[in-house]
Amino acid sequence: MIFHDILVVGGGLAGLRAAISAAEKKADVAIVSRLYPVRSHSGQAQGGVNAALANNPQAKDDTPEKHAFDTVKGSDFLADQETSIFMTQEAPEAIFEIEHWGCPFSRTPEGKIAQRPFGGAGYPRTCYGSDKTGHYMLQTLYEQTVRHNVKVYSEWVVIGLAKDVDTCCGVIALDMHSGTLQAMGANAVIFATGGSARIYGNSTNGITSTAFGVAIPYWAGVPLKDMEFIQFHPTSLYPSNILMTEGCRGEGGTLINKDGERFLTKYAPKAMELGPRDIVARGIMTEILEGRGYEDAYVYLDLRHLGKAKIMEKLPGIREITLDFIGLDPIEKPIPIQPGTHYCMGGIDTNVDGESPLKGFYAAGECACVSVHGANRLGGNSLLDTLVFGKRAGAVAAGYTKDKSKQSRTNALERALKREEDNLNQMLKSNGKENPHKINNELRKLMPEKAGIFRNEKQLSEGLTQIKALKERFKKIRPVASGRSFNLDKVWFLEIKGNLDVAEAVVAGALARKESRGSHFRRDFATRDDANFMKHTVATYTPEGPKLSYKDVSITKYQPEERKY
């Protein structure tokens, strides 16, 4: 039976950073990833990573404290403040560390790491490598795992947790090469499986960014936190929803409606295009819904005034995408954009150390809710989150396993393996007629309609009813394909079940939160209600649906105030 001190599930930035941190502590650590790590979705992050380095001439007095305040204010004061302060204090060291490992950041004329403005930030503090920052960071961290001889189980899909009473003792994984299930024992497991935005049909995310990664611990009794807070990125390419980085606006790009107006004067009169994502996305959607968009579907992101030289230096990837996908050169024409579902502020409930309520089980990155993003994440803070909390989770998990014997807890792993084998066999023998992919497509259609940028009780109630109906239909699905090697049908079936259960938690949390805060905007409760909803939503799995409870937000330094941009 396979055994490692620590298993890291996910090979993106958070998973790689966790593995490096654990390896530095001399732990026996391995990564289990459904993709070859450098193909992880972290590589699609374009615009940059935040840290108060004060390298930009307009940011000479920037500090981690000011970065923390921007983070908390951007979160609509739902972020836990001491955790946010920890992240921003750790940020400069995290950037210098990855720079010294060889990450090719863009440079100022003096040779310092270049920093650009990003939305919701008081200073230009977003470090970047052209518009391919996530790609550069991913390659850099992967090199470090090679340096530390970290074992990687590539193209293995974790489908379940193993528990020994109240302690996580490993995972059950599907080896896609052989098609066999494997029990993998560990003294600690770190989930770094990324976000769940593919439960929405208008997502900027790759096809592997499903809710399966948070569904697995959710099914095992680990609660999810703040799942109703879904970020809609203001600028995704129309009609495909491919991400158009916030760096476009950071470099001076403007948003214009069909009347040629820079309409954000109505929504963020001071910050304009550099307002926080929730406000800018709602502004764009309002223009479209009120008939001031092109073809009632999009507005324009205009980069033409930046000039060819700047676009080719700072935004070459954006130009490449628009040329490849819609045959448009942003040097000559504006880019059609609309908001797209982008990021999940909520996730697996963890503390600052990445610890979950299940002993020995940790999480980091977008699949976790620590919470530093609250109700709305600032652009550039997600990559920082992966570095800071990936490192923290790896180090804490290594400390937790240090004095533990190398034991496989065979009985618990065998029980978990049999559970998952029985589940797959049941799907193989199903005699239903429902097409699970049709169910998934219907889910991805209803989520933007019922739990999108603008929400109300009627839509959310209808959405919850529809999801419950889809779950009933899923019980009558057709048999899963019986092939073994790279049988993606098995994985997709399991993912769709996870999508349904997690989507139910998103909508239930949104229905219960009778206020507007950050990305969660209720037309029927259009103001923030600190008296009743300055609290985190906690969803615990039951077969009948999520059981909701609440926990306090940590408010220590910054008292909630009205957000003005």
Residues belonging to the active site: 233, 249
Residues contacting 492, CB < 8 A, separation 6+: 436, 437, 440
Q: Are 436 and 459 in contact (CB under 8 A)?
A: no
Cα separation, 416 vs 402, in Å, equals 25
Residue 185 CB-half CA count within 13 A: 15
Both tokens of 114, joined, read 């270049």
C-alpha angle 325-366-255 in degrees, rounded to nearest 5: 45
Torsion, CA 481, CA 154, CA 348, CA 412, rounded to 10: 80
Task: Please provide residue 519's backbone torsions phi and psi, each rounded to the nearest 5 degrees.
Answer: -75, -15
> How far is residue 530 CA from its own chain's centroid?
26
Q: Are 254 and 536 in contact (CB under 8 A)?
A: no
Q: Are 366 and 347 in contact (CB under 8 A)?
A: yes
The DSSP code sequence of 312-346 is HHH-HHHHHHHHHHH---TTTSPEEEEEEEEEES-
Q: Token match 């003294």: residue?
A: 187
Residues contacting 432, CB < 8 A, separation 6+: 475, 476, 477, 478
Cα separation, 303 vs 317, in Å, equals 13
The DSSP code sequence of 196-230 is -GGGSTTBSS-TT--THHHHHHHHTTPPEE-TT-E
Q: Token match 């007095």: residue?
A: 61
Give the residues across from 343 on adjacent strands.
Answer: 231
C-alpha angle 94-95-100 in degrees, rounded to nearest 5: 100
Q: Are 420 and 172 in contact (CB under 8 A)?
A: yes
Both tokens of 261, joined, read 């107006």
Map residue 465 onto helix, strand or coil: helix
C-alpha angle 313-319-322 in degrees, rounded to nearest 5: 170
CA-wise closest residue to 170 among 368, 353, 5, 401: 5
Question: Beta strand pairing status for 299-302 and 126-127?
Answer: unpaired
Pure H helices in 148-289: 212-219, 247-250, 277-289
CA-wise closest residue to 532 among 522, 542, 545: 522
Q: Are 501 and 219 in contact (CB under 8 A)?
A: yes
Give the residues across from 338 on adjacent strands.
Answer: 236
Give the residues across from 152 on adjacent strands.
Answer: 31
Maximum alpha-carbon separation in the chain: 69
* Number of residues that this document lists for the chain: 565
Report which secondary-structure segment, H or E, holds 143: helix 133-147
